[in-house]
Amino acid sequence: MDKNDIIAVLDLIGTMLEIKGENPFKVRAYFSGSRTLQTLEEDLGTVIEEGRLGNIPGIGKALTEKIETLFTTGELEFLDKLKASVPDGLLDLLEVPGLGGKKINALHKKLGIDSIESLTQACNDGRVAELKGFGTKTQDKILSGIENREAYAARHLWWDARRVADRILPGLQALPEVERVEAAGSLRRGMETVGDLDFLVASSNPEPIMEWFTQMEGIVEVTAHGDTKSSVRFEGGMQADLRVVPSEQFYFALHHFTGSKDHNVRMRQKALSVGLSLSEWGLRPEEEKDSSRSKGTVEAHSEEDIFKTLGLAYIPPSLREGMGEVEAAEKNELPELLELEDLKGCFHNHTTASDGRNTLEEIAAEADKRGWQYLGVADHSKSSFQANGLDEARLEKQVQAIRALNESGSFSSHIFAGSEVDILSGGKLDFSDSVLGTLDYVVASVHNGLTQDEETMTSRIIKALEHPNVTMLGHVSGRLLLKREASKMNIQKIIDAAIANHKIIELNSNPMRLDMDWRHWKKAAEKGLLCAINPDAHALPHYDFQLTGVNIARKGWLTRDHVFNTRSLHEVKEYFG
Ligand code: DGT
Ligand code: CA
Ligand code: CA
Ligand code: ZN
């Protein structure tokens, strides 16, 4: 087990002890042990090997043994026993935002609550509001948290959906009866979250394909098993549809089931305007539209053929959201969308100096490996103590290390020295102007007070944008997809302020953030807003997130020119200068 997994285990132990109402001193030992590990700058393995773990203040004898056992075996009997002693229903309550161990203990002890259902009931009866330390506001928050939880459970991050699809597609491909196969739906359109997976197969012999699909590993329920359509549900809740069509219908069906609904509506209107009827079965003269099984008069050997027949340029799946793509395709004015290869580096990345897992040298080597020209280091600032934010002295040391690294010539990529500076609650920045002045660039982000009202949050962010040292705004809305709603703000005002002050807004490519939302980018970029696609990397594999970032940028109609990190090292240096 690595350090971050162990940190999570210690937090879980602390929380479970709280739920059980154990001695607060005992509870605190686990939480403070977890915090100590979070701020440990040395490699945990080395510390354990050299027998020095117990010497670290905040880690006592009992904790030392548990951490060592977890590190070497990945298991812990104490944890298993503890888990078994807490009813499952109480652990479920931890998924409700705002409920921690102490509150769950009170709900259980005073109201006998032991599940989401009994908690919902107690809120609806008003009994939760009457508890000491709760009140009406907390009760409302719990109720809306439960509602969100249900809505969230019905969808999945694109990144996770992609991984499941990547396992299914080769299996389908390998079946001898399968002539062609594609993933469709929101997955193909690159939506930030995906409801269910949609697979489409061309075949004249669907039966064995349906058999295979409904017997895949990990399926917990087959919700439909038909001749041409089947649906299944996997462990963890992901669902998948499979449709099998004759090969001559394949591209019509692929277009139809890729969607979106809005796009399909516009496409059918467009077809009608030239006397054709478009459906999942084909494209045929309008008078034939009722005989849906009749052979289509138009043949399509690709999706391009369908668009061409309608007098349209090819619309890539990312753009099929009914945001004016059909009109643009009519005039041959679709944007030349950004490609992953256009990116030459990125700016919002963390190292071991704050809460990242890799050192400066390791991320510089990674940039070289990926063929990037530059990489920016933007570790947290001091107010983000939970993320081990740097104070002035540590930041100065880091800047010196970065300058020395660049001079050493050890890496071909250039490292920029930046900071992810907290935007404090009134819009002030976490470092003074003179400290910020020593940096190549500054990413300004909100990390606390996320629930401020719309006006306060809007002016707080605009104040940061007006600060001369700020280069770009990090993860503007603060949302965590399927976990935490975006903060309330007037995004149009913020976009206008960024443009007026020549500031960049980030498109954070972490699959949980994808923030600023793609729905805002088309209009914002037209007005002149510059975008930086940043992975917010805390470990080397996170640099792969740039793929999702580019997908989302494409959904926002962004081209190379709209994206700052397509610029060369020379151009970026000039911009920062
Ligand atoms: P999701 O699964 O909620 O993330 O979103 P989609 O877009 O994958 O939706 P899904 O799986 O219900 O259906 C896939 C596509 O099939 C959808 O984008 C458009 C098309 N489609 C499905 N049902 C309908 C329908 O009732 N009307 C229309 N116009 N299109 C539909
Ligand atoms: Ca779907
Ligand atoms: Ca579906
Ligand atoms: Zn951040």
Per-residue pLDDT tens digits for 81-134: 999 999 889 998 988 877 899 999 999 999 999 999 999 999 999 999 999 999
196 lines ligand 1 (CB under 6 A): yes
The number of the ligand 1 atom at minimal distance from the alpha carbon of 193 is 4
Q: Are strands 229-234 and 219-225 parallel, antiparallel or unpaired?
A: antiparallel
6 lines ligand 1 (CB under 6 A): no
Q: Which is nearest to 227 in space by CA: 203, 251, 257?
A: 203
* Distance from Cα 384 to the centre of ligand 3, integer Å: 41
Per-residue pLDDT tens digits for 257-269: 999 999 999 999 9
| Closest C-alpha to ligand 1, atom 2 | 195
Tell me how far apart the alpha carbons of residues 331 and 244 are, in angstroms, rounded to a whole number.
34
Q: In the prediction, which pLDDT does 286 show? A: 82
| Closest C-alpha to ligand 1, atom 10 | 185
Backbone phi, psi, residue 414, to 5°? -95, 140
Q: In the prediction, which pLDDT does 6 show? A: 94
192 lines ligand 1 (CB under 6 A): no
69 lines ligand 1 (CB under 6 A): no
* Distance from Cα 360 to the centre of ligand 3, integer Å: 44
261 lines ligand 1 (CB under 6 A): yes
The number of the ligand 1 atom at minimal distance from the alpha carbon of 259 is 18
| Closest C-alpha to ligand 1, atom 19 | 259
Tell me how far apart the alpha carbons of residues 250 and 260 are, in angstroms, rounded to a whole number.
17
Exposure string of 169-184, with b = 16+ CB inside 10 Å and e = fewer, is eeebeebebbeebbbb
Ranges of the chain with pLDDT below 50: none
Which residues, 6 or more positions from 546, have their beta carbon under 8 angstroms from its beta carbon? 340, 343, 346, 509, 533, 535
Q: In the prediction, which pLDDT does 292 show? A: 52
- Sheet of strand 530-534: strand arrangement: 420-422, 443-445, 472-473, 504-508, 530-534
Query: Please, which residues have CB less than 5 A from ligand 4, an ion?
Result: 445
Partners of 522 in the β-ladder:
none
Q: Which is nearest to 506 in space by CA: 536, 466, 547, 468?
A: 536
| Closest C-alpha to ligand 1, atom 26 | 261
198 lines ligand 1 (CB under 6 A): yes
The number of the ligand 1 atom at minimal distance from the alpha carbon of 194 is 4
Q: In the prediction, which pLDDT does 291 show? A: 53
DSSP 419-442: -EEEB-TTS-BSS-HHHHTTSS--
Tell me how far apart the alpha carbons of residues 468 and 463 are, in angstroms, rounded to a whole number.
10
| Closest C-alpha to ligand 1, atom 18 | 259
Q: Which is nearest to 236 in space by CA: 210, 209, 217?
A: 217
Partners of 349 in the β-ladder:
537
- In the chain, the domains with their CATH numbers are 3-152 (1.10.150.110), 156-245 (3.30.460.10), 259-334 (3.30.210.10), 340-576 (3.20.20.140)
> Considering every ligand atom, which ligand is closest to the CA of 185?
1
| Closest C-alpha to ligand 1, atom 1 | 195
Q: In the prediction, which pLDDT does 447 show? A: 96
| Closest C-alpha to ligand 1, atom 15 | 257
* Distance from Cα 447 to the centre of ligand 4, integer Å: 6
Question: With the C-alpha atoms ordered 330, 333, 336, 338, is the resulting torsion angle positive or negative?
Answer: negative
The number of the ligand 1 atom at minimal distance from the alpha carbon of 196 is 2
Cα 426 to the chain's mean position, in Å?
28
Q: Which is nearest to 150 in space by CA: 205, 91, 92?
A: 92
89 lines ligand 1 (CB under 6 A): no
